[in-house]
Amino acid sequence: MSVDPEEIDCPEPLRSELAWRYRTDIHAGPEIDQAIVNRARAKLARREMLRPMLRMPWLATAAAIALVVLMIPAIYRYAHPRPQVVAVIQRAAGDVNDDGVVDIRDALALARKIEAKNAAFTQWDDVYC
């Protein structure tokens, strides 16, 4: 439904303001036209750079699969950290060389410490009574 502007009953200042706002005689200069064309060409050039990737969708699929396969172990390790093992070693009484067994080697190590007059031995750290 088209309405003729002259048929609208409104004040003249409003009519002239609306006519000025909705005028269609706007002309762009050649510089503006050239700027619009340059932007359109640049956008099309970027799109042309992406076109080879669109021709090989299997390549993108293979890259995505490879990424997922490589990320699964990292995600699993993050979600399931290994428990830390803490070894508790108890020294047996008379175990001078800390190998966990009291034997002749401990007696020889004790004799060497006595002969060397080791300061640690004077505190009786190696012999538990």
Reduce the DSSP state of residue 17 to 3 states and report it: helix
H helix count then E strand count, the chain: 5, 0
Confidence band for 17, pLDDT divided at 50, 70 and 90: confident
More confident residue, 66 or 5: 66
> Tens of pLDDT along 57-96?
788 788 899 999 999 988 888 888 888 777 666 777 778 8
Handedness of CA 57, 60, 64, 65 (dihedral sign): positive
Q: What percent of the chain has pLDDT over 70?
A: 77
Q: Sorting pLDDT into bands at 50, 70 and 90, what band is 121?
A: low
Q: How far apart are CA 16 and CA 23, in angstroms?
A: 10
CA distance 74 to 36: 48
Boundaries of every domain in the chain: 28-85, 87-129
Mean pLDDT across 42-54: 77
Q: Look up the pTM and report it.
A: 0.27
Q: Other C-beta atoms within 10 Å of 57: how many?
A: 9
Statement: residue 53 has pLDDT above 70: no
Residue 126's pLDDT is 52
Average pLDDT of every residue of the chain: 78
Q: Per this entry, what is the length of the chain?
A: 129
- Spatial distance between the Cα atoms of 3 and 9, rounded to a whole number of angstroms: 12
What is the mean predicted confidence (pLDDT) over 99-123?
76
Residue 50 tokens read as 């992406």
